[in-house]
Amino acid sequence: MKHIKTLNTRNLCESAKKGGCGECQTSCQSACKTSCGIANQQCENKKQESAK
Amino acid sequence: MIHRYHLDDWYIVIDTCSGSVHVVDEIAYEIIGCYEEKSREEILREMSARFQEDPAEIAECYDQVTELKEQGTLFSPDVFEPMAGELKQKTAGVVKALCLHVAHTCNLNCAYCFASQGKYHGERAVMSFEVGKQALDFLVAHSGTRRNLEVDFFGGEPLMNFDVVKQLVAYARSIEKEKGKNFRFTLTTNGMLIDDDVIDFANREMSNVVLSLDGRKEIHDRCRVDYAGNGSWERIVPKFQQLVKAREGKNYYMRGTFTHANPDFLEDIRTMLDLGFTELSMEPVVCAENDPAALTQEDLPVVLKQYEDLARLMLARKKEGRPFTFYHYMLDLSGGPCIYKRISGCGSGTEYMAVTPWGDLYPCHQFVGEEAFRLGDVWQGVTNEKVQQEFAACNVYAREECRDCWAKLYCSGGCAANAYHATGSVRGVYKYGCELFRKRMECAIMLQAALQEEDA
């Protein structure tokens, strides 16, 4: 019996190798302006990959 | 580091450093809870006594946990700290976003305004085209190889200087091709001056529009009043509806603020939905602790419950085919930010700066008016390197309080302005905000679990 289901997530360790292009949105430019949310930002590279 | 929580029917385990999220059953939940403290035998004995389950099944569950650990998706060690400075250094000296304060004045007199009615504790002023143009040139000149540049027209109320906004957009469009850049503009407005011209322009040029509405009429009009003391709700709502309709799916956010007067802010979200808006953001007020609008400890459980109920409402509406978006719950677990972004945070003072009507640079819009944080100006660039260094050194590992927090790679150590206002240091921690943030992340991840299950 399967007791654990792992959701599809980005592997953060892997992203350390290629990450950091910096093209992503600055978090405060979107809608909050008064707090720091990072996790809800999109990766610009991933966005392009999925658009292909 | 892991974090386990139970919400509605969901048992969820987050592995902080790998970013993995596991949806587990109750037995696995309990095994994971004591996995690192006890031996296999002890755990199997305890679980067999606790659950009416075949011991072989419990052993299998234990072994599945071990397998995840071996795969590096559970109890994964924090390997990022040594590279934190280096990762943030990758973008040193690059500016990619500006918040242009085109108007330090406002046609509303909102009681809770962090910008002191748009004046930021200074004189009323509007930005000239020359200052704005120099700001755009400064941005292009300091953006390195970065192609996407963001500019937010902010205030005060930016539409009080709409002609300059239009001129600046035209100027940016005239240079972006030759400079190899792509400008993404945002307009943040209280709605009072929206007309057909603004709507056409915003829908043509703005990647995103942020519209300020607090929800219920009585809540909105309590704070968001004009200088005669009249509420603005009835005047702005039809304009927002017209703008959103004309936007035809382009990005916008209906952004509200909740205060001590409405910790039950889910009611305000329901009002926004009833008005036909579906892209929503609701933020806790930012103000001094002794301000009557400030959220209190008594408000906290009410607010936390709103976040849970909001997630439930989102799921229910999705099932009914009437989905809506809540800004903080927009987690994309597989396409979200890389570790660099998660460590570096919002980039205030380095990648992101605010520009006053006079061309002064500040680390972000929330520091404008704090003279000690003035970084320089759009002609000379950053001259106050000491302050910039302070912001450059802000990463998730720079805050001792964040070290043992499971959510640190979701918030990157939090907002420097919130930290400064709460503790006097940009490297402090605004604990009340952390409580809200952690709850939001728990709810957002639970939502993802439910949505992935639906899709399966």
Residues B239, B191: contact at Cβ < 8 Å?
yes
Q: Which residue of A has its CA nearest to B410?
A: A39
SS3 A35: coil
pLDDT band at A38 (very low <50, low <70, confident <90, very high): confident
Superfamily for domain range B86-329? Aldolase class I (3.20.20.70)
Residue B22 scores a pLDDT above 80? yes
Q: Is the pLDDT of residue B133 over 70?
A: yes
**pLDDT score, position B179:** 98
B193-218 average pLDDT score: 97
Q: For the segment B417-452, what is each residue's pLDDT rounded down to a tens digit? A: 999 999 999 999 999 999 999 999 999 999 999 998
Distance from CA of B413 to the nearest CA of A (A): 8
pLDDT bucket at B402, cuts 50 / 70 / 90: very high
- Residue A51 has a pLDDT of 59
How large is the average pLDDT for residues A28-49?
Answer: 78
Q: Is the pLDDT of residue B188 over 70?
A: yes
User: Taking all residues of chain B, what is their mean pLDDT, rounded to a whole number?
Assistant: 95
Burial grade of B250 (CB within 10 A; 0-12, 13-18, 19 or more): middle
Say which of A12, A22, A27 has its CB closest to residue B91. A22
Residue B144: which pLDDT band, with cuts at 50, 70 and 90?
Answer: very high
Q: Do B415 and A26 touch (CB under 8 A)?
A: no
Please answer yes or no on whether B333 and A9 come within 8 Å at the CB atom. yes
Q: Does domain B2-77 correspond to CATH entry 1.10.10?
A: yes
| Neighboring chain B residues of A11 at a CB cutoff of 8 Å | 18-19
Closest CA to B236 of B107, B102, B105, B101: B107
- Shortest distance between the Cα of B142 and any Cα of chain A, in A, equals 14
Before B156, cis peptide (omega within 30)?
A: yes
pLDDT, residue B14, reads 98
List the one residue out of B98, B254, B282, B125 whose CA is nearest residue B185.
B98
For residues B296 and B288, the answer to whether their CB atoms sit within 8 Å is no
Tell me the pLDDT tens digit for each residue of B46-69. Answer: 999 999 999 999 999 999 999 999
Out of A19-33, B139-153, B178-192, B200-214, pick the least confident: A19-33
Q: Mean pLDDT in chain A?
A: 80
- Joined together, the tokens standing for residue B449 give 């679990």
**Would you kindly state where each structural domain of chain B is located, as residue ranges?**
2-77, 86-329
Nearest CA in chain A to B100: A29
Confidence (pLDDT) at A50:
59
Q: What is the mean pLDDT of residues B22-40?
A: 98
B22 Cα to chain A: minimum distance (Å): 4
Task: State pLDDT tens for residues B327-364.
Answer: 999 998 988 899 988 988 889 999 999 999 999 999 99
pTM of the model: 0.95
pLDDT of residue B408: 95
Would you kindly state where each structural domain of chain A is located, as residue ranges?
Answer: 23-51
Q: How far is A48 from chain B (nearest CA, A)?
A: 10
- Which of B61, B412, B416 has its CB closest to that of A3? B61
The sign of the dihedral angle between the CA atoms of B348, B350, B352, B357 is positive
pLDDT for B217: 98
Is residue B235 scored above 90 in pLDDT?
yes
pLDDT, residue B219, reads 97
pLDDT confidence tier of residue B7, bands split at 50, 70 and 90: very high
Residue pLDDT, tens place only, B74-123? 999 999 988 887 777 777 789 999 999 999 999 999 989 988 888 898 99
Contact criterion met (CB < 8 Å) for A3 and B152? no
Residues of B (359-388) whose Cβ lies below 8 Å from A: 364-366
Average pLDDT for residues B230-238, to the nearest whole number? 98
Q: What is the DSSP secondary structure assignment for residue A25, as one 8-state letter?
A: P
**How large is the average pLDDT for residues B255-271?**
97
